[in-house]
Amino acid sequence: MEWLKQRYGAQRFFFTDECVALSPAKRLCQQIIDKKLDIKWTCEMRFEKHLTRELLASMRDAGCLKIVFGLESFNQRVMDFMKKGIKQEWVRRIAGDCVDLGIAVHCYIIVGSRPRRKKKPGKR
């Protein structure tokens, strides 16, 4: 990023990995802050139980403007059916922390996805 900024004047970055993991995010933020890169960036993450307000604050301080989350649904039954591995309480906490810290929240959702009920034998 430092080279891209110097060479091409790039000041905004979008990390489009499937999702940025927590440990690499911590290291990335620390390096951006230590090198005083003065860049702005966006990334994709999951609503992880261990995504803390402290890490979000570090991301903001390192220039993070927005986090894109693959929520798919806010209905817990649907999330469980889709095997998302996330809880509504985590979504509320993390989204709230982002807004409080000035980080925009972008969620991908799927409209109309719902678990099908198992049919009972003998019923149509």
Does a structural domain hold residue 117? Answer: no
Cβ–Cβ under 8 Å, residues 94 and 49: no
Does a structural domain hold residue 1? Answer: no
pLDDT tens column, 42-65: 999 999 999 999 999 999 999 999
Domain that holds residue 73: 11-109
What confidence score (pLDDT) does residue 91 get? 95
Distance separating alpha carbons of residues 84 and 73, to the nearest angstrom: 9
pLDDT tens column, 73-98: 888 888 888 888 899 999 999 999 99
Does a structural domain hold residue 121? Answer: no
| Average pLDDT, integer, range 4-14 | 94
Does a structural domain hold residue 44? Answer: yes
Q: Across all residues in the chain, what is the average pLDDT?
A: 90
Does a structural domain hold residue 84? Answer: yes
Q: What's the number of domains the chain is made of?
A: 1
Does a structural domain hold residue 116? Answer: no
Which are the contacts of 27, defined by CB distance < 8 A and separation ≥ 6? none
Model pTM score: 0.84
